[in-house]
Amino acid sequence: MHPQQPAKIQLSNTPDYREAYANSVQVRVSLWDFFLSFGTINQTSPDAVDIRNYQGIFLSPQQAKALANVLNQNISQYESTFGEIRLEPKQGGAAIQ
């Protein structure tokens, strides 16, 4: 048997590719998929938060798990380099997303 060579991966962007900042991600789960809704949070007053979603992405359960693994690996590497990432405390009894 010959050792299998790793596949050559070529990355390219489609014409509608875009990058944006998100400080809010909501997740919905069904039997068939995970849905991630990305947006930005704006505190409009002391007791009101406006979340504006701009992109929704569907993932298969397998791809969602692969994403979780990649994120966990990268978070561990980040924390090894820069220190622990601390989550902000809950405000007013509700977690900020």
Q: What is the DSSP string of 39-86?
A: EEEEEEETTEEEEEEEEEEEE-HHHHHHHHHHHHHHHHHHHHHH-PPP
Residue 5 lies in a domain: no
Residue 43 carries which DSSP code? E
User: Tens digit of pLDDT for each residue in 21-69?
Assistant: 999 999 999 999 999 999 999 998 989 999 999 999 999 999 999 999 9
Residue 30 lies in a domain: yes
User: Tens digit of pLDDT for each residue in 68-81?
Assistant: 999 999 999 999 99
pTM (predicted TM-score): 0.74
How high is the pLDDT of residue 13? 95
Residue 17 lies in a domain: no
Residue 71 lies in a domain: yes
Residue 91 lies in a domain: no
Q: Where does residue 90 fall: left (phi above 0), alpha (psi -120 to 50 degrees), or beta otherwise?
A: beta
User: Tens digit of pLDDT for each residue in 5-18?
Assistant: 889 999 999 999 99
Residue 31 lies in a domain: yes
